[in-house]
């Protein structure tokens, strides 16, 4: 069985992290986000995927290639300019066989039971099955109204507050029958949520909901991206990530000074150096090849690979993308640093700062 993964969005809301890194490759527990998604598909026997790409496509292809350690067949389709969520699926049509296939928004992490969803799809002879999840505020999502028997009656993308009638939303995972591809125009920008689903409902197609209550998050913003890392560290997503919630896992070939204090949950990548009296308070994820200086303090933060944290720095509730350098004595709180940012000695960055890549500040 195949899955099309929509990975071509611009990741605008995740900037400055996504200026130079596609949303699919942002590291989650030190592995590209998409790798987690692929592993989950594979666990359910879905081992052929088509990645629908438009933005920063080459870095995704370079990373995953065609054969890979996951032992999955990965194919790629490219849009010259973004075709929208349904246009991107249509663009992948020639890579799909004449069988039902999954469609995944590429920015969702969930422990959805794909096998049970497929069973539901087949038992009901549906044209499309949409996974649903419950959220506190559906305004940022696609609201889905259903009948008692699970048939979808209304699909409303990004509803206004006064239009919210349920807390159930589109979880960004579908099963399509191949015939649905004929309902999408070729080489045209077309939206699954705003055009395809409403038009299918208007024409009485069989669109069914599959409710799920497991872990689910859309990594659409830095805050949610950080939360996903921490949820996985603290074992909040069932079988993925850490199990007991306060482990300290250190990678290979690193050096952690005996006076450094690591309080879990902490994931420290390979080849990291942690100097004397440094304190890393979990939840914290630190990428490969990072250097944490003497008496530096890190807490509730996600650090990408090759980051240098100088002596005595404080990095609290923040994200630092790859190759950032914090010179000694800096203080960074609730900030998001794009890659290759340099913060000069003793500088106290205003709380909540978002710093674009390659800026030198201080
Ligand atoms: N290839 C390709 N081409 N992919 C695209 C394009 C495109 O033109 N536009 C968006 N995508 C990808 C994005 O990269 C993302 O993985 C997915 O499609 C969904 O786009 P988002 O921009 O993240 O949409 P959203 O989060 O506002 O809303 C969608 O997801 C919600 C669940 O998180 C909708 O499907 C909502 O209905 C849903 O509730
Ligand atoms: Mg999204």
DSSP per position, 61-117: HHHH-SS-TT--EEEEEE-SS--HHHHHHHHTGGGS-SS-EEEEETTEEE---HHHH
Compute, in angstroms, the gap from residue 14 CA to the centroid of ligand 2.
Answer: 10
Indicate the DSSP class of residue 19.
S
Express each pLDDT in 231-267 by its tens digit: 999 877 766 667 777 888 888 888 999 999 999 899 9
Q: Given a cut of 90, is residue 70 above it in pLDDT?
A: no
Per-residue pLDDT, averaged over 194-200, amounts to 97
Query: Does the C-beta of 168 come closer than 6 Å to ligand 1?
Result: no
Express each pLDDT in 291-343 by its tens digit: 999 999 999 999 999 999 999 999 999 999 999 999 999 999 999 999 999 99
Q: What is the pLDDT of residue 343?
A: 97
Helix (H) or strand (E) holding 48: strand 48-53
Q: What is the pLDDT of residue 244?
A: 73
Q: What is the pLDDT of residue 13?
A: 85
Lowest mean pLDDT among 72-76, 159-163, 235-239, 281-285: 235-239
Position 208 confidence tier, pLDDT thresholds 50, 70, 90: very high
**C-alpha to C-alpha distance for 20 and 77, rounded to whole angstroms:** 20
Per-residue pLDDT, averaged over 266-289, amounts to 97
- Give Cα separations from 147 to 112, 174, 207, 208, 209 (angstroms): 22, 18, 11, 9, 9
Query: Does the C-beta of 16 come closer than 6 Å to ligand 1?
Result: no
For the whole model, what pTM was predicted? 0.92
- What percent of the residues of the chain are helix, what percent strand, and what percent coil, each to the nearest 5? 20, 30, 45
Nearest atom of ligand 1 to the alpha carbon of 140: 27
Compute, in angstroms, the gap from residue 260 CA to the centroid of ligand 2.
Answer: 38
Query: Does the C-beta of 138 come closer than 6 Å to ligand 1?
Result: no
* 133: β partners: 169
**Which residue, by CA, sits nearest to atom 28 of ligand 1?**
141
Percentage of the chain beyond pLDDT 70 is 97
Compute, in angstroms, the gap from residue 273 CA to the centroid of ligand 2.
Answer: 35
**Which residue, by CA, sits nearest to atom 17 of ligand 1?**
105
Query: Does the C-beta of 52 come closer than 6 Å to ligand 1?
Result: yes
Q: What is the pLDDT of residue 97?
A: 78
Of the listed ligands, the closest to the CA of 142 is: 1
Q: What is the pLDDT of residue 67?
A: 54
Compute, in angstroms, the gap from residue 113 CA to the centroid of ligand 1.
Answer: 21
Nearest atom of ligand 1 to the alpha carbon of 155: 37
Query: Does the C-beta of 83 come closer than 6 Å to ligand 1?
Result: yes
Q: Given a cut of 90, is residue 220 above it in pLDDT?
A: no
Express each pLDDT in 27-64 by its tens digit: 999 999 999 999 999 999 999 999 999 866 677 787 87
Lowest mean pLDDT among 170-174, 211-215, 331-335: 211-215
- Taking CA 120 as the corner, what is the angle to CA 116 and CA 125, rounded to the nearest 5 degrees? 150
Q: What is the pLDDT of residue 239?
A: 61
Of the listed ligands, the closest to the CA of 23 is: 1
Catalytic machinery residues: 158
Q: Given a cut of 90, is residue 87 above it in pLDDT?
A: yes
């Amino acid at each position: 069985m195949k899955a099309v993964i929509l990975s071509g969005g611009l990741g605008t809301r995740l900037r400055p992290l996504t200026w130079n890194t596609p949303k699919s490759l942002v590291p989650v527990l030190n592995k590209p986000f998409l790798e987690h998604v692929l592993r989950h598909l594979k666990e359910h026997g879905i081992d052929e995927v088509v990645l629908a790409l438009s933005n920063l496509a080459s870095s995704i292809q370079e990373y995953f290639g065609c054969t890979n350690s996951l032992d999955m067949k990965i194919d790629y389709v490219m849009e010259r300019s973004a075709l929208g969520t349904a246009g991107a699926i249509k663009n992948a049509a020639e890579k799909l066989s004449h069988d039902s296939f999954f469609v995944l928004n590429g920015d969702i992490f969930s422990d959805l039971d794909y096998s049970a969803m497929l069973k539901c799809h087949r038992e009901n002879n549906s044209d499309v099955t949409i996974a649903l999840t419950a959220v506190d505020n559906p305004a940022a999502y696609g609201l889905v109204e259903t009948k008692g028997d699970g048939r979808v009656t209304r699909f409303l993308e990004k509803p206004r507050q006064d239009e919210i009638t349920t807390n159930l939303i589109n979880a960004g995972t579908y099963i399509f029958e191949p015939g649905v591809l004929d309902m999408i125009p070729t080489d045209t920008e077309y939206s699954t949520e705003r055009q395809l689903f409403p038009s299918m409902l208007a024409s009485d197609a069989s669109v069914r909901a599959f409710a799920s209550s497991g872990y689910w998050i859309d990594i659409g913003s830095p805050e949610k991206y950080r939360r996903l890392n921490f949820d996985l560290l603290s074992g909040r997503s069932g079988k993925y990530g850490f199990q007991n919630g306060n482990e300290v896992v250190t990678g290979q070939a690193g050096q952690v000074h005996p006076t450094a204090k690591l309080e879990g949950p902490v994931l420290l990548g390979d080849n990291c150096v942690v100097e004397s009296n440094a304190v890393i308070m979990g939840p914290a994820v630190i990428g490969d090849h990072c250097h944490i200086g003497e008496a530096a303090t890190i807490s509730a933060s996600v650090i990408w690979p090759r980051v240098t944290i100088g002596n005595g720095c404080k990095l609290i509730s923040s994200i630092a993308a790859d190759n950032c350098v914090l010179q000694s004595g800096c203080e960074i709180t609730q900030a998001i640093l794009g890659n290759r940012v340099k913060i000069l000695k003793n500088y106290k960055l205003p709380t909540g700062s978002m710093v674009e890549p390659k800026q030198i500040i201080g």
